Amino acid sequence: MNPYLSGILLGLVLLAAMFLSGRGLGASGGIKDTVVAVVGAVDKQHAMNTPYYSKYYQNGEHPLKNWLTLEIFGMVVGGFLSGALSHRLKFKIEKSPKISNRRRLLFAFLGGLFFVYGAQLARGCTSGAALSGMAVLSVAGFVTMAAIFGSAYLFAWFFRKLWI
């Protein structure tokens, strides 16, 4: 789809979230909630004793029963629908032909690790902090956006072999 048109579509979805629920979109929060749920299931004692987890268990609700997690389930469904419509459903590892599968997956893993760690620190990722933040004119949104893109451009040279 034309990038500007899909941008408008994405903007309208964000606007709908603001209008219906009074909040922006998010993704990394849902990932964290999943981890909280997993940790809680594996070692409840540990979850109760660690300050960061325990606040999710204080009110007695399951950590997966919240807005962001439900939104992420929806995202999977929506992405699948779109992929089916555009005939893009296929299991594959996307990478530059110059690198091996193993290398791609290793860096994908590291990338995810860094990204979500940073997102937890900045209280949101590209969607939760940068995009939604900019839409409500939050200074945090603009600063996070500038930091993400600035640092990615900075590091782009070091990782160029991965992509070009």
Partner 1 sequence: MGPISIISEFPEWLNLLIAFFIGIGFGFALEQAGFSSSRRLAGMFYGYDTTVIKVFFTAAIVALAGSQLLSFFGLLNLKLVFVNPYYVNSAILGGIIMGAGFIMGGYCPGTSISALSIGKIDAMIFLLGGMVGAFLFMETYPFIQTIAMENYKGNMRIDEWLGVSSGVFTLLLIIAAVAMFWIAELAEKKFNRPDITSDI
Partner 2 sequence: MDARIKYSLLLVGIGIILAFLPFSATDSFRLKSDELLSKSTSAENSLSVDQVARMVNKEDSTMLLIDLREAGQFKECNIPGSINIPFSDLLNPWWEGTFNQKNIKKIFYGNGDQTANCAWSIVTGLGYQNNFVMKGGLNEWFKTVMLSQFRGEKITPLENALYEARFNARKAFTQINSLPDSLKKQYFKAKEIKQLKLDGGCQ
Contact 52, 29 (CB under 8 A): no
* 72 CB-near residues (< 8 Å, 6+ apart): 27, 30, 31
Q: If binding is defined by CB under 8 A, does position 94 make contact with partner 1?
A: yes
Instruction: Single out the residue of 27, 64, 72, 148 in contact with partner 2 (rule: CB under 8 A).
Output: 27
Residue 99's binding partner out of partner 2, partner 1, none, with CB under 5 to 8 Å set by partner kind:
none
Q: If binding is defined by CB under 8 A, does position 36 make contact with partner 2?
A: no
Q: If binding is defined by CB under 8 A, does position 99 make contact with partner 1?
A: no
Q: How far is CA 114 from CA 34, 44, 111, 144, 163, in A?
A: 17, 26, 5, 15, 18
CA angle 31, 47, 26 (to 5 degrees): 20
Instruction: State the number of binding residues for partner 2 (CB under 8 A).
Output: 22
CA-to-CA distance for 144 and 138, rounded, in angstroms?
10
Binding mask 51-90 for partner 1 (x = CB under 8 A): xxx-----------xxxx-xxxxxxxxxxxxxx--x-xxx
The single-letter DSSP state of residue 128 is I
Q: If binding is defined by CB under 8 A, does position 108 make contact with partner 1?
A: yes
Choose between 8 and 146: whose C-beta lies nearer to partner 2.
8
Instruction: Single out the residue of 7, 43, 44, 49 in contact with partner 1 (rule: CB under 8 A).
Output: 7
